[in-house]
Amino acid sequence: MEPTSLRNTAPPGRRLAFFGYLGLVILAAIAVVVPAAIEQGTPLLSLPGTYWLMFALACAADARPFNATGPRQSVAVFPSVCFAFAALLIWGLPAAVLVQASATLVFAWRMRHSFWRGLFNVGQYTLALSAAYGILSLAPVIPLRDGTVTRHDVVLLLVACSVWFAVSHGLVATAVWLRFGGSWRQTLTTTVGSEGLAAFALLLLGPFLVAAAQTSGWLIPLIVVPLYAVYRTARLSQEHERLSLLDPLTGLANRKALFTGVEEAIAALREIPAHAQDRRLALIVLDLDRFKQVNDALGHAVGDRLLIEVGRRLAGCVPADAVVARLGGDEFAVLAPRIADVEAAQALATTISVALNDPVRLDGMPLDVASSIGIALSPDHGDDFTTLLRHADVAMYDAKTRGDTVAVYVPESDHNSPARLGLLGDLRRSLETPGFGEVALYYQPQVDMSSGEVVGVEALLRWRHPVRGLVSPEELIKVAEHSGVMRLLTYRVIDEVLAQLARWAEGGMQLRAAINVSVRDLHTTDLVDYLAERLAEYGVAADQIQLEITEGALMADPRRVLATLQRLDRLGVALSLDDFGTGYSSLQHLRRLPLSEVKIDRSFVLGMSTDEDDASIVRSIIELAGALGLRVVAEGVEDERTWRWLVAHGCHVAQGWFYARPMPADELPRWLAKYRPPMLLRAVPNQPEAAS
């Protein structure tokens, strides 16, 4: 066997070792066969016509060898192997080497192979035949040579075939490794299955050729029929294997081929010593934005043509050693096995994005192609295909969420990391199992700025993990919001808040409570039904509940979210737009949505004292909300100067440490009993400077 199609990716430093290895193999073959020829002393002209018939058939068959395809390369399988092995059994090593060497050189001449490659293959087969002959010589008589065969002869033949294959395959694998680099073990094992099956099939035809020769030389040409059958089977297997690695629409590599490429590239990286590693593997994943709209508007036929053109552009803009694959639908991947660092990976991703920027013209219609691209590097972000692909996917969706074109994987964006999955499981257990971790609610007062009256509270989650201790609210929401646990958490909060409002009402405290809900809660109408049911159960008026939604929730799916918000409004539940100013809300959202208030994000409120821009943003939000008839709530009010500035500019409600920190429900009545509204100065400047 010999490799017939390999890409030259050898490190330059291996060339000397490679050619030295070739010379060693050739010299070893000469050192083995010449003494054997002298010792045997059989003149070539004295060999019978049967031998020369095998010789001619071997050379004719090797003029067109057949291929056995493995995942890494195509391996030429020479029919002359069976003729040479038969000659070995009947006439000995020199005669067998002559058959094999002549047929191999015929193939090398026909394929215009280099001189060194042809000599190496002759040396490879000579050493393999010599090793097999050494095994056969262990018997008193070479099996089949005297016309008889025993059980021990069969075992010896099988061992000789195994040794032949081990020597031949090992020599070729080492040559490929020295020439092209990568992992020696990976090179050795990649094609061992397909190559070994074909080799054993040919070698075991040798004994049947011996039997035919001993019976009648006219039977020998009949071996061409089973050889042709093997040839056709191998060709069909090769074609099937090739097609199984290609995407049928674009002709690019498919997921299976990408998996093989990534695993081999990772194995090659592992062969590089840690102190010498100066390169990375980059897996780049992208999908097309708004591709579904093309399919829906123009049909799947146009969508398929668009995918084909995208595949062509991708293949034309990546390095020669890169693998471009279609993962399915409108999702593509690029494997770059030799990337210097993350900056180089980002540069390649930018090149890909630029290549897709020009509109694709189909039937005279220009179609814009935009993509979101995610990058994961090995070994930085994973050392196996599954992990790298998942992390590249995470980065891609991170880019899509942020509105960027390219994003590199960062653990903070991974909502399904092992640590977070473990935390998610613990959170579910805390919600379902009393006593396992404490999921509790704290309440922060909301104060009317004109009167100083406490008009409501915001319910804030606190979770004390049994091992990690207090988990921050931000991490708690990140863990839950992309899973079904978010609904459990929201329903738990609704139950506890309504129960607490009912208890406070029994004690004479009538307050409004604000509850935060996620985009996942708003995608179905289940939230509305559950809330209506619980309001009736606890006897709490709908206007005592206010739901806070974020701008991100509105942008995720405005149509579905709007339907839920309209039902909540009809129920009588007030709606607040939380963290206003940090997202992408438009005036149209403020006009169309049934909102009662907007909450200014605390980042702007905290920055007013030092940043004139933050002060201007807060002033503008207050004026805009006032024009639309919306109540304005400022979060993060922590000092008197900020409080006075907000009062002066007409902010309606405030919450923050200036009034009180979040507190457990049982502490709120005691705080209210001691609470005294802050006193305003009689003269408040009409146009104060930024929070001063």
- Cβ neighbour number for residue 12 with a 10 Å cutoff: 6
> Cβ neighbours of residue 583 under 8 Å, at least 6 residues apart?
550, 551, 552, 554, 555
**Whether the predicted pLDDT of 654 surpasses 80:** yes
pLDDT at 7: 39
Determine the average pLDDT of the residues in 7-18: 58
pLDDT at 116: 82
- Cβ neighbour number for residue 641 with a 10 Å cutoff: 14
**Whether the predicted pLDDT of 419 surpasses 60:** yes
pLDDT range class, residue 535, cuts 50, 70, 90? very high
d(CA 555, CA 562): 11
pLDDT range class, residue 4, cuts 50, 70, 90? very low
pLDDT at 437: 57
* 409 to 287, 346, 372, 394, 490: CA distances (angstroms): 16, 11, 13, 7, 29
Domain count along the chain: 3
Q: Which of 637, 550, 632, 577 is nearest to 602 (CA)?
A: 637
The residue ranking higher by pLDDT, 451 or 298, is: 451
Q: Which of 87, 79, 103, 104 is nearest to 230 (CA)?
A: 79
pLDDT range class, residue 45, cuts 50, 70, 90? low
| In 248-372, alpha helices (H) | 255-270, 291-298, 300-317, 342-355
Residues 570-595 have pLDDT tens digits of: 999 999 888 776 554 556 666 777 88
**Which among 200, 225, 244 is the end of a domain?**
244
CA angle 630, 610, 659 (to 5 degrees): 55
Residues 318 and 240 in one domain: no
Q: Is 1 helix (H, G, I), strand (E, B) or coil?
A: coil
The answer as to whether 274 is a domain residue is: yes
The answer as to whether 180 is a domain residue is: yes
Instruction: Identify whether the C-beta of residue 75 lies closer than 8 Å to the C-beta of residue 194.
Output: yes
Residue 500 lies in domain: 440-674
454-465 and 438-448 strand pairing: antiparallel
Residues 486 and 619 in one domain: yes
pLDDT at 531: 93
Residues 259 and 237 in one domain: no
**Whether the predicted pLDDT of 216 surpasses 50:** yes
pLDDT at 500: 94
Q: What is the CATH number of the domain that holds 214?
A: 1.10.1760.20
Determine the average pLDDT of the residues in 45-64: 83
d(CA 117, CA 95): 22
**Whether the predicted pLDDT of 463 surpasses 90:** no
Residues 379 and 444 in one domain: no
* 555 to 52, 310, 374, 402, 519: CA distances (angstroms): 81, 28, 21, 12, 9
The answer as to whether 428 is a domain residue is: no
- Tell me how long the chain is: 692
Residues 139-159 have pLDDT tens digits of: 888 888 777 778 888 899 999
Helix and strand counts by DSSP (H, E) for the chain: 27, 20
Residues 46 and 89 in one domain: yes
Residues 182 and 78 in one domain: yes
Q: What is the CA radius of gyration of the chain?
A: 38
The answer as to whether 560 is a domain residue is: yes
pLDDT at 9: 43
Q: What is the CATH number of the domain that holds 262?
A: 3.30.70.270
d(CA 568, CA 542): 9
Residue with tokens 């959202």: 589
**Which among 225, 244, 263 is the end of a domain?**
244
**Whether the predicted pLDDT of 677 surpasses 80:** yes
pLDDT at 415: 61
pLDDT at 435: 57
The answer as to whether 448 is a domain residue is: yes
The answer as to whether 427 is a domain residue is: no
Determine the average pLDDT of the residues in 278-302: 81
* 497 to 14, 216, 295, 438: CA distances (angstroms): 71, 98, 46, 16
Residues 547 and 665 in one domain: yes
Residues 358 and 455 in one domain: no
Residues 598 and 476 in one domain: yes
Residues 18 and 70 in one domain: yes
Residues 526 and 611 in one domain: yes
pLDDT range class, residue 76, cuts 50, 70, 90? low
pLDDT at 662: 93
The answer as to whether 250 is a domain residue is: no
pLDDT at 499: 93
Determine the average pLDDT of the residues in 482-503: 87
The DSSP code for 680 is P
Name the E strands within 423-569.
Answer: 438-448, 454-465, 469-471, 512-516, 545-550
Residues 184 and 295 in one domain: no
pLDDT at 689: 40
**Whether the predicted pLDDT of 188 surpasses 80:** no
The answer as to whether 429 is a domain residue is: no
Mean pLDDT of the chain: 81
Its pTM surpasses 0.75: no
d(CA 281, CA 378): 5
Dihedral-angle region of residue 143 (phi above 0 means left; psi in -120 to 50 means alpha; beta otherwise) = beta
